[in-house]
């Protein structure tokens, strides 16, 4: 008989062990990413514990009763095929059910997709991680149109723009995401109206471009140049929905290549998913 596995709420002192597990499987998140996820949903992140060791994790991010995201489902390689991942998923789903969430989403690797389908999740769309090992020397961008985030009004504008393109209000996520980003830029159109924005964050293996939202392709081109310009010769990831062919084309022009595919899955009644054509890069796989 296998040893007892305890599924419990994640606490601050678990984060170092959780990040060590993340490092073991080779994901790009950082300790600060764990802190952000736990701060956003302190009662909705869980660990699997055996013999006082953290052997698995899962997180949830709540966007109101319309939608929640499940992420960071990790099980130590030595403890896989013991049902731990299923127990973590059940705990996360049960928690979201108590909040009255009508739809749960997640981004799955090919290895995990069949597991989630058995739980009732259905595919929404395909995504891909694009990678470059050394960013090229980025050409100049339009300084009259692109600038750094400057004020609370700017933040309110990008939160609203994300709501339009993503489909739900992610204000609480963006308030902390801006602080955790190395660079946040906005694209201003006529009347100084913000019609696009993007961020770059540090990762454990590579910089991460995203989210990147733009209402027009030219906005995305200028934002990408502004965001990546300071990271010459550095590795970078860019997570792109397959349906955004313009984003894929732009990534290819910079020398990015597809690293691996993923599938976005949902369970429940998805009311809206915004304007997907404006999503040139997602936030990340743990929050959508």
| pLDDT tens by residue, 17-33 | 999 999 999 999 999 99
Residue 89 in this model has a pLDDT that exceeds 50? yes
Share of the chain above pLDDT 70, in %: 99
Long-range contacts for 111-114 (Cβ within 8 Å, ≥24 apart)? 112/73, 113/263, 113/265
Contact status, residue 129 vs residue 258, Cβ threshold 8 Å: yes
For 48, the 3-state DSSP assignment is: strand
Task: Please report the pLDDT score of residue 191 as a whole number.
Answer: 72
Cα(74)–Cα(72) distance, rounded to whole angstroms?
Answer: 6
Residue 64 in this model has a pLDDT that exceeds 50? yes
Is-same-fold flag (6-101; 130-281)?
yes
Class of domain 130-281: alpha beta
Contact status, residue 258 vs residue 130, Cβ threshold 8 Å: yes
Closest Cα partner for 44 from 14, 13, 10? 10
Residue 84 in this model has a pLDDT that exceeds 90? yes
Cα(235)–Cα(228) distance, rounded to whole angstroms?
Answer: 11
Cα(274)–Cα(245) distance, rounded to whole angstroms?
Answer: 17
Cα(56)–Cα(6) distance, rounded to whole angstroms?
Answer: 10
Tokens 């062990």 correspond to 17
Task: Please report the pLDDT score of residue 276 as a whole number.
Answer: 83
pTM strictly above 0.85:
yes
Specify whether domain 6-101 bears CATH 3.40.630.30.
yes
Residue 1 in this model has a pLDDT that exceeds 80? no
Domain locations in the chain?
6-101, 130-281
145-195 residue pLDDT tens? 999 998 899 999 999 999 999 999 999 999 999 999 999 999 997 777 899
119-152 residue pLDDT tens? 999 999 999 999 999 999 998 888 889 999 988 9
Residue 273 in this model has a pLDDT that exceeds 80? no
Mean pLDDT computed over every residue of the chain:
95
């Amino acid at each position: 008989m296998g040893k007892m596995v305890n599924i419990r709420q994640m606490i601050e002192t678990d984060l170092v062990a959780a990040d060590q597990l993340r490092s073991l499987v080779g994901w790009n998140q950082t300790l600060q990413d764990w802190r952000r996820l736990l701060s956003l949903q302190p009662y909705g992140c869980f660990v699997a514990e055996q013999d006082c060791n953290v052997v698995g994790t899962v997180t949830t991010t709540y966007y109101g009763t319309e939608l929640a995201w499940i992420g960071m489902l990790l099980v130590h390689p030595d403890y896989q095929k013991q049902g731990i991942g299923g127990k973590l998923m059940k705990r996360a789903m049960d928690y979201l059910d108590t909040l009255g969430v009508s739809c749960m989403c997640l981004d799955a690797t090919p290895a995990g997709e069949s597991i989630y389908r058995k739980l009732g999740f259905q595919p929404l769309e395909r995504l891909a991680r694009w990678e470059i090992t050394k960013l090229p020397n980025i050409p100049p961008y339009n300084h009259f149109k692109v600038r750094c985030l400057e004020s609370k009004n700017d933040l309110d504008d990008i939160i609203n723009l994300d709501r339009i393109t993503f489909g739900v209000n992610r204000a609480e996520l963006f308030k902390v995401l801006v602080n955790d980003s190395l660079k946040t830029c906005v694209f201003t159109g006529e009347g100084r109206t913000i019609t696009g924005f993007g961020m770059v964050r540090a990762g454990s293996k590579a910089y991460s471009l995203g989210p990147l939202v733009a209402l027009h392709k030219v906005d995305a081109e200028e934002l990408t140049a502004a965001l990546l310009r300071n990271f010459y010769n550095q590795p970078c990831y860019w997570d792109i929905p397959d349906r955004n062919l313009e984003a894929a084309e732009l990534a290819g022009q910079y020398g990015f290549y597809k690293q691996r595919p993923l599938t976005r899955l949902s369970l429940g009644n998805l009311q809206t998913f915004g304007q997907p054509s404006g999503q040139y890069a997602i936030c990340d796989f743990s929050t959508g």
